């Protein structure tokens, strides 16, 4: 096996694009996920049904199909998103659906009595959701959210199929020129592995930092 240090600068450029796309689509997914989850849990039928349908569609169809529809499909409606925007849009719309489901589960895991107690001291429903329910739901959702983040780092590699030179795209281009597919993709894989290791460690740190003192300790004491 022969490796070449000259690949590294190019791969690093690809890594930057991977990071940009992942960060942007995760951010978009969080906003979308919160709105969809709130719509599903607290909305009336007029709001919750469209949210459910959206989630079903985006979880029930392949991500690659969604990506190609955005990039090649939207132009037929006169919208011409760049490959970069298409990648973020498709990945963000997709992860939004998944994040909504995780967050919905977390919201429903918060003891409903606390929402009632918040209403009982005179908070409006939006206040009770914002100050009492969501802060707890966010803590509960961190583990599944960190899974989703890791998945999105890896799924972002499909944007190579719409000509983007992300980590995967760069690797593929290098390999097509020198035919050292195996070696190049080993390096690409190591890049992903390192990135995901760092992300999961950061999220574990976050989880510990926001842990609620005393919660979950009682079972151990007994």
Contact residues toward another protein (CB under 8 A) are 111, 113-114, 116-124, 127, 131-132, 135-136, 139, 212-218
Nearer CB in complex with another protein: 124/178: 124
Contact criterion met (CB below 8 Å) for 37 and 168: no
Q: Which two structure tokens, joined as six digits, stand for 176?
A: 């097509």
Please state the closest distance from residue 130 (CB atom) to another protein, in A: 9
Please state the closest distance from residue 115 (CB atom) to another protein, in A: 9
**How many Cα atoms are found within 13 Å in the side-chain-facing hemisphere of 79?**
11
Nearest CA to 210 among 134, 99, 153, 118?
Answer: 134
Read off the DSSP letter of residue 130: I
Nearer CB in complex with another protein: 5/215: 215
DSSP-assigned letters across all residues of 85-109: HHHHHHHHHHHHHHHHHHHHHHHHH
Nearer CB in complex with another protein: 124/201: 124
Please state the closest distance from residue 142 (CB atom) to another protein, in A: 13
For 209, the enclosing helix (H) or strand (E) is helix 181-209
Please state the closest distance from residue 133 (CB atom) to another protein, in A: 10
Alpha helices in 61-163 (DSSP H): 63-68, 83-109, 112-120, 125-128, 134-155
Please state the closest distance from residue 116 (CB atom) to another protein, in A: 6
Nearer CB in complex with another protein: 85/123: 123
Nearer CB in complex with another protein: 65/212: 212
Please state the closest distance from residue 216 (CB atom) to another protein, in A: 8
Nearest CA to 88 among 112, 111, 107, 70?
Answer: 70
Nearer CB in complex with another protein: 128/184: 128
Going by C-beta distance under 8 Å and a sequence separation of 6 or more, which residues neighbour residue 87?
A: 21, 25, 67, 71, 156, 159, 162, 164, 166
């Amino acid at each position: 096996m022969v490796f070449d240090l000259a690949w590294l600068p190019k791969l690093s450029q690809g890594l930057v694009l991977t990071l940009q796309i992942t960060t942007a689509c995760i951010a978009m997914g969080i906003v979308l996920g919160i709105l969809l989850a709130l719509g599903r849990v607290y909305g009336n039928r007029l709001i919750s049904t469209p949210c459910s349908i959206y989630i079903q569609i985006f979880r029930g169809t392949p991500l690659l199909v969604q990506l190609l529809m955005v990039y090649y499909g939207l132009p037929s409606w006169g919208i011409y998103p760049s490959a970069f925007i298409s990648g973020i849009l498709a990945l963000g719309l997709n992860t939004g659906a998944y994040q909504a489901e995780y967050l919905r589960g977390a919201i429903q895991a918060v003891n409903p009595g606390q929402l009632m107690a918040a209403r009982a001291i005179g908070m409006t429903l939006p206040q009770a959701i914002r100050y009492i329910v969501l802060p707890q739901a966010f803590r509960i959702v961190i583990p599944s959210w960190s899974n989703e983040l890791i998945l999105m780092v890896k799924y972002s590699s499909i944007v190579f199929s719409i000509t983007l030179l992300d980590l995967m795209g760069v690797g593929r281009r290098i390999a097509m020129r020198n035919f050292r597919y195996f070696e190049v993709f080993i390096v690409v894989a190591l890049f992903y592995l390192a990135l995901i290791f760092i992300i999961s460690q950061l999220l574990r740190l976050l989880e510990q930092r926001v842990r609620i003192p005393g919660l979950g300790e009682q079972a151990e004491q007994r």
